[in-house]
Each structure stands twice: as structure tokens, then as C-alpha cells.
Amino acid sequence: MATHTKPVLAANWKMHHGPTAAAEFLETFLGRHARRDDRTVILFPSAIAFTTARAAASARPDVRFGVQNIHPAEKGAFTGETSAPMAVDAGAAFVLVGHSERRHVFGETDAETAEKCARAAAHGLVPVLCVGEKIEEREAGETDAVVLRQLRAGLAGLGADDLRRVIIAYEPVWAIGTGRTATPDDASSAHAAIRAELRAIGGSETDEIPILYGGSVNVGNASTLLSAPGVDGLLVGGASLDPESWATICGA
């Protein structure tokens, strides 16, 4: 049974939009994006704007919310961090895990992604596990090896029921924020490898797990990417910061 209606359109605001901008964004976006039951729309605001953004969409349960990161511990002396129970208490349903910036800017390891996925699932959050290769790994022919290593590691601590609830996002590092986008064939190839590995891990029941593409997605290429075989949705960065462009992508 599918947990998430495909396509899944997810907006990662990263370190943009404080509370005031988030409220303004939602007012404009919701005015342009009519409720639809044939897709899943998720916003990942900054931690400081999360509550404001969610409140601004309180009349629209079709727009769902997640946090950009959690700490693997339940609580403790971890200044600046957010725990899974805190995220749930604030109304989050999803959490990004292993985003390329967490891996390559903040040094997050495969082992840490496993801890975070397990902690998220234990508290009812859906992990959106991000995987992807750097340009030198792609040029060395190591795309599948890197992506599948990250995939196996991140999912290692999940039981069968929790595994079926996850979302996977393939985001080639070389295409994030660079304006360089993987071709539909590139995306389909990587997604096929991920799908095959999911089946090897959890059998055919994993076929309902959405696999999203992320990396310089914009209004001009969203529909083409969504039409590529094996692409079940999009994880969007920069193009999700403008409410009008995000509404257009959500209608793709």
C-alpha cells in the first residue's frame, strides 16, 4: 500500500526564508496552487521558520512539512541541534537525511545517516534519504557504487515496515546549485539502480518507495524530468524559493 502519492514534490529551502518571508511565501503559493490529491507536496523550511510556515498553511493539509535535519540523539547538550521528538512536536512529518551539503560541508558520514534514519523512523518521521555522487566519482565510473553504498548504509537500521515508508532522493552532487542538470537518461539510469537495490533489500514491497531526482531542477526542466522512467518526483532547491515558480513545478 502506497504511503505517499506520486509524484512527490519536495522543496528544500536550505538557509533561506525566515519567518516573515515564509509567511509571505505561503500566502502567495497557496493562492496559486490549488489542492490536488494526485501528488504529495512537502516543504522543508529552515528550523527557525518552520512553525510560522506550517501555521500559514494550517488550512491546507495537502501541503505537508518536514525538517532539514535532526540530531541522532533524543536530547542532550547539543547546542544548535534539533531532535526527532522536537520535530514531531512542531508538526513535522518528514526529515531530510544525508543531503549532499550535510555530507560534504558538515562531514556527515554514512553511519550518521543510518542513525538519523533509524531515529526518525522510531518517532514516526519519514526519512527522505539523499544519495548522490561527486563529479570525480561519476567520471571514474563509480556512480552506482557510491550511490548504492550510501543507500544501503542509510537504510541499514530500518525494519521492513519502516523501510516501506521512506523516500529516496537521488541528487548528483555535481548538479546541485550549479545549473548543470542530469539528463533524463542519467536520472533514469541512477533511479533504476536504486530501485533494483531496494528490491534486493526489501523485496517487491519496496516498489512503492518514491525515488526523487534533485539537482538544478527548475520550471523549464521539471516536466521533462518527471516524465523520465523511474523518476517519482523532485527535490527542489533554488527554484522552490519563489512561490510562483514552485507553484508551477507543483503543477508539472
- Provide the mean pLDDT of the chain: 96
In this prediction, residue 3 carries a pLDDT of 73
| Rounded Cα gap, residues 213 and 125, in angstroms | 21
Range in 51-55, 62-66, 138-142, 190-194 the model is least confident about: 138-142
Q: Which three cell numbers stand for residue 78?
A: 547539543
Residues serving a catalytic function are 99, 171
Going by pLDDT thresholds of 50, 70 and 90, the confidence category of residue 19 is very high
Percent of the chain past pLDDT 90, that is, above it, reads 93
Percent of the chain past pLDDT 70, that is, above it, reads 99
Q: Is 122 left (phi over 0), alpha (psi -120 to 50) or beta?
A: alpha
In this prediction, residue 176 carries a pLDDT of 79
- pLDDT of residue 226 exceeding 50: yes
Q: What is the mean pLDDT of residues 125-150?
A: 96
- pLDDT of residue 189 exceeding 60: yes
| Rounded Cα gap, residues 88 and 103, in angstroms | 23
- pLDDT of residue 55 exceeding 50: yes
Q: Which three cell numbers stand for residue 226?
A: 518527471
Comparison of pLDDT for 80 and 182, the residue scoring more: 80
Residue 141 parent element (H or E): none
- pTM for the predicted model, two decimal places: 0.96
| Rounded Cα gap, residues 30 and 26, in angstroms | 6
Instruction: Select from 3.20.20.70, 3.40.640.10, 3.40.50.720, 3.50.50.60 the CATH code of 8-250.
Output: 3.20.20.70
* Partner residues linked to 129 by β-bridges: 97, 168
In this prediction, residue 178 carries a pLDDT of 78
Beta strand 211-214 with 126-131 is: unpaired
In this prediction, residue 1 carries a pLDDT of 37
Q: Grid cell 519502516 — which residue?
A: 162
In this prediction, residue 116 carries a pLDDT of 98
